[in-house]
Amino acid sequence: MSNILAFDLGASSGRALLGRLVDGKIEVEELHRFSNDPVQVGNRLHWDILRLYHEIKLALMKAKNQGIDLQSMAIDSWGVDFGFIGKDGELIGNPYHYRDRHTEDAMEGLFAEIPASDIFARTGIQFQPFNTLFQLYALKKANSPLLKEGKRLLMIPDLLRYFLTGEMHNEFSNATTTQLFNPTTGTWDSELLRLLDLPESWFGEVLKPGSKAGNLQPSVCEELRIPSIPVYAVAEHDTGSAVAAVPATEKSFAYLSCGTWSLMGTEVDKPVIHELAQKLNFTNEGGVAETYRLLKNIMGLWILQECRREWERAGKSYSFPELVQLAGEAQALSVFIDPDNSLFLPPGDMPARITQYCLRTGQQAPETTGEIVRCILESLALKYRYAFELTELLSGQTFNGLHMVGGGIQNTLLCQWTANAIGKPVWAGPSEGSAIGNLIVQWIAQGEFADIWEARKAIRDSFPMTIYEPEERKAWSDAYDRFCVLTGIQV
């Protein structure tokens, strides 16, 4: 029996999922789960990268102690963040967290030097203040010593893979999130690097998902007393892995990868790079099997997670099922926020910010816990409709429904309200989409599946799917009209 390991690192937690193929079906087992907590040091927010590496080693130890013979492993994580390797081969500093405030004015500053239209035409990536491009620009403006001492730039999965193998590679799906990769040439954009005065030597060979990226190096094997195994580069941006796991039956499909962030879009053969795509702030990120993911970032369940943290600080502890129950008891479709308003990006007192937003838009602010949670979830569902319809417009396709994957599908209210908002069925599953996508790309590389479509059929056969049919269509259609007016989004 072939055992492979997928490390899926999310913005709030990580997990090691063991995968097996049994009679053509996929079996998964959670081997290890751990929190992923950013660390505030002074005015800076960092990822605890060495803690994450420690957790990866703990999972490998657990596999050994349980007598599990591993054939391979791979890592996926969030995009945009990175670390620098110095001339001695060691990590320089702790990687910044994308929610750190050092990029607050970077977009405006860079656009004064390079027009936004030029950047989009060269990369096809939507503008977010935390993109790698703007992080590097902010570091340059701050005269950061990282830029003087750094010799190679590695994205988070690249960095962890380097610790394990001693080999430095950049992977395609995560490279595209930097806003420094040119999808037309299939390489790092040398002209953009020149304009930014960034050395090309920082950016290495770009591996396609499914490439072997090394083996566990002797020092790791000796420390853990385990045999060396291959380490693969999968779709290392977790959304790329999640989309690989969408159990679609046809090439034209819409997906929503739902977690701390929500990513809505479709899979396309070629990036969609034109003026309307830029205006609507859509992105073209690399996927598996020579595809791109035309998608839009939506703030996601981050707002709810931050509310929960704030309530805990005030001595009120709620489980997520309890919050969902309270939301179900609150008044329907009464107050809305735009989840993507910049007010909700940084950590902090999210209930107070929701109140601030509602008062600013002439609404009565939600007061109870249930009302706040309902406001968040309904607003997300309505924003999903907005992104769903724009995805149809930009891709020139009409979708019969929406595939939802990721941990957010455990929120049954959100799934049902999403179906209500878009007026079409929602097919929810699997919940561990990113980890399962990680696994199937390893299996494709090893010849266990012929291609992504055979793997997607195995996912359909292996994991349950819940279907949500739309309800209360007129009420939700009317609510969408009010939502668009209150939030000021362009339809």
For the record, the structure tokens of 212 come out as: 């072997």
| Residues 225 and 285 reside in one and the same domain | no
- Residues 451-472: tens digit of each pLDDT: 999 999 999 999 999 999 999 9
d(CA 414, CA 400): 19
What 3-state DSSP class applies to 79?
coil
% of the chain surpassing 90 pLDDT: 99
| Residues 157 and 260 reside in one and the same domain | no
Domain assignment present for residue 351? The answer is yes
- The count of C-alpha atoms lying within 13 angstroms of the C-alpha of 375, restricted to the half-sphere facing its C-beta, is 25
| Residues 184 and 96 reside in one and the same domain | yes
Averaged pLDDT for residues 42-49: 96
- Residues 142-193: tens digit of each pLDDT: 999 999 999 999 999 999 999 999 999 999 999 999 999 999 999 999 999 9
Answer for the pair 168, 152: CB distance below 8 angstroms, yes or no. yes
| Residues 224 and 253 reside in one and the same domain | no
Is the per-residue pLDDT at 71 higher than 80? yes
* 3 state SS for 312-347: HHCCCCCCHHHHHHHHHHCCCCCCCCCCCCHHHCCC
Report the run of H or E that residue 4 belongs to, with start and end.
strand 3-9
Examine the fold and report which residue of 233, 264, 279 is the final residue of a domain before the chain moves on.
233
| Residues 353 and 274 reside in one and the same domain | yes
Q: At which residue do the structure tokens 């069925």 appear?
A: 425
Examine the fold and report which residue of 233, 265, 283 is the final residue of a domain before the chain moves on.
233
Mean pLDDT taken over the chain: 97
| Residues 79 and 117 reside in one and the same domain | yes
Examine the fold and report which residue of 206, 233, 260 is the final residue of a domain before the chain moves on.
233
Give the range of the structural domain holding residue 186, as residue numbers without chain letter.
3-233
- Nearest-5° Cα angle at 270, 293 to 435: 30
Q: At which residue do the structure tokens 């010799």 appear?
A: 151
Domain assignment present for residue 111? The answer is yes
Amino acid at the residue 5: L
| Residues 270 and 419 reside in one and the same domain | yes
For the record, the structure tokens of 68 come out as: 């599990």
- Residues 280-310: tens digit of each pLDDT: 999 999 999 999 999 999 999 999 999 999 9
Q: 453-458 contacts: CB < 8 A, separation 24 or more?
A: 455/244, 456/245, 456/246, 456/247, 456/248, 456/249, 457/247, 458/21, 458/24, 458/25, 458/26
Q: At which residue do the structure tokens 């910049």 appear?
A: 342
Domain assignment present for residue 220? The answer is yes
* Rounded alpha-carbon distances, angstroms, from residue 136 to 95, 145, 183, 286, 428: 12, 12, 20, 21, 37
Among all residues, which ones are annotated catalytic? 238
Domain assignment present for residue 441? The answer is no
- Residues 400-438: tens digit of each pLDDT: 999 999 999 999 999 999 999 999 999 999 999 999 999
| Residues 52 and 157 reside in one and the same domain | yes
User: What local confidence, expressed as pLDDT, does residue 491 receive?
Assistant: 67
Domain assignment present for residue 440? The answer is no
Amino acid at the residue 184: T
Is the per-residue pLDDT at 277 higher than 80? yes
Domain assignment present for residue 241? The answer is no
Task: Judge residue 206's burial from the number of C-beta atoms within 10 Å of its C-beta, 0-12 exposed, 13-18 middle, 19 or more buried.
Answer: buried
Domain assignment present for residue 437? The answer is no
What is the pLDDT confidence band of residue 128, given thresholds at 50, 70 and 90? Answer: very high
| Residues 226 and 326 reside in one and the same domain | no
| Residues 227 and 253 reside in one and the same domain | no
- Helices (H), ranges, 405-451: 412-422, 433-445
Answer for the pair 269, 275: CB distance below 8 angstroms, yes or no. no
What is the pLDDT confidence band of residue 1, given thresholds at 50, 70 and 90? Answer: low
Amino acid at the residue 434: S
| Residues 7 and 139 reside in one and the same domain | yes
- What CATH number did the domain enclosing 256 receive? 3.30.420.40
Backbone angles phi, psi at 370, to 5 degrees: -60, -40
Residue 271, preceding peptide bond in cis (omega within 30° of 0): no
Domain assignment present for residue 434? The answer is no
Is the per-residue pLDDT at 2 higher than 90? no
User: What local confidence, expressed as pLDDT, does residue 490 receive?
Assistant: 79
pTM recorded for the entire structure: 0.95
| Residues 293 and 201 reside in one and the same domain | no
Instruction: Count up the domains in the chain and report the number.
Output: 2
Is the per-residue pLDDT at 12 higher than 90? no
Is the per-residue pLDDT at 132 higher than 90? yes
